[in-house]
Amino acid sequence: MNLESATKYFFCKTQSFTDAPRCTGDTLTGTDVMGAFGMCQSEAELGFKAFLGKLSLSPEDSKRAIQLLTQHGMKHCDKVAALRKLDTKIKFKVVQVLAKFSFKDYCRSASGKEQCPKCQGRKLIYRKKDVVKHPGCGESVKARVVNETVGDMCDHCNGKGEVSVACRDCRGRTVSLDQSETERQGVPVMKDCKRCRGRGYERVPAADAFRAICAFTDTISAATWDKTIKPFYDQLCTQLEIEESWAETSLNRVTG
């Protein structure tokens, strides 16, 4: 059993009314599966919680995954000189912010959506405008112009309040048309999308994590971030993928 097939045990099942007996082979019961999940968590808790948090099965799984990733970051952050020099409380906040953004990047997919950056999820953009007021009908009644706040539909998200994180070039397909090879061979030739590098979605900008860190400390400069802390942030992103692989290996071994 892999992690992807294990998610079906977290949802309700339809009652089947049939006279056919259950299979008497090596079928895992619900108790066996729950026991396997417990053993998997004892060996690779971070990977298991991160995977469940990515599927949004429970907010507690996401919080626990961020907490475990923060603990992992605190164990290895002293290898980075810029982080080692920070005060303990500031260092913990920095690592926690990096863990939150790493988990957010890990949870992204081509079908995911995020809050519209232009309207901040409000679906409308409010601005001051001159509005013509008509108090009534008749020739003697004159319209007056009033400057007031008016809400217009956001053009960026078309009033939805959220936008897709799929790649703008390949639209989440991970591949794009190679124009030069298509013209040379006379048939459509596909290649990995250069914009998203074959992922199908856009990653969380690392600059967002840097701005979040600068909100509570000014000891980290842009040059320090690019040279030392950003590689550490990328390692945290990669660590989640490694932990998920370990969790799947552990689950396969327990249920195999």
Average confidence (pLDDT) over 56-67: 90
Average confidence (pLDDT) over 35-46: 88
Q: Is pLDDT above 70 for 21?
A: no
Q: Are strands 190-192 and 144-153 parallel, antiparallel or unpaired?
A: unpaired
Query: For residue range 213-239, what is the model confidence (pLDDT) as tens digits?
Result: 999 888 899 999 999 999 999 999 999
- Report d(CA 61, CA 107) in Å as an integer: 12
Rg of the chain over all Cα atoms, to the nearest angstrom: 26
Q: How confident is residue 17, by pLDDT bands cut at 50, 70 and 90?
A: low
User: What region does 121 belong to: left with phi over 0, alpha with psi -120 to 50, or beta?
Assistant: left
Backbone angles phi, psi at 77, to 5 degrees: -70, -20
Q: How confident is residue 20, by pLDDT bands cut at 50, 70 and 90?
A: low
- Report d(CA 79, CA 227) in Å as an integer: 13
Q: How confident is residue 22, by pLDDT bands cut at 50, 70 and 90?
A: low
Determine what percent of the chain is predicted with pLDDT higher than 70.
Answer: 92
pLDDT at 92: 94
Inter-CA distances, 3 with 36, 186, 203, 245, Å: 11, 42, 23, 9
- Cβ contact 99:93 at 8 Å: no
Query: For residue range 145-202, what is the model confidence (pLDDT) as tens digits?
Result: 888 888 889 988 888 989 888 888 888 888 888 888 888 888 888 888 888 888 888 8
- Report d(CA 230, CA 105) in Å as an integer: 14
Q: Is pLDDT above 60 for 108?
A: yes
Q: Considering only 23-37, 73-87, 89-103, which range has the smallest mean pLDDT?
A: 23-37
- Rounded (5°) CA angle 250-61-111: 90
- Report d(CA 213, CA 222) in Å as an integer: 11
- Report d(CA 201, CA 111) in Å as an integer: 8
Report which of residues 8 and 74 the model is more confident about.
Answer: 74
Q: Is the torsion defined by CA of 158, 161, 164, 168 positive or negative? A: positive
Inter-CA distances, 72 with 1, 96, 116, 174, 229, Å: 27, 10, 32, 31, 15
pLDDT at 15: 64
Query: For residue range 117-154, what is the model confidence (pLDDT) as tens digits?
Result: 888 888 999 989 888 887 766 666 677 888 888 888 99
pLDDT at 143: 76
The mean pLDDT of the chain is: 86
Task: Output the pTM of the full model.
Answer: 0.79
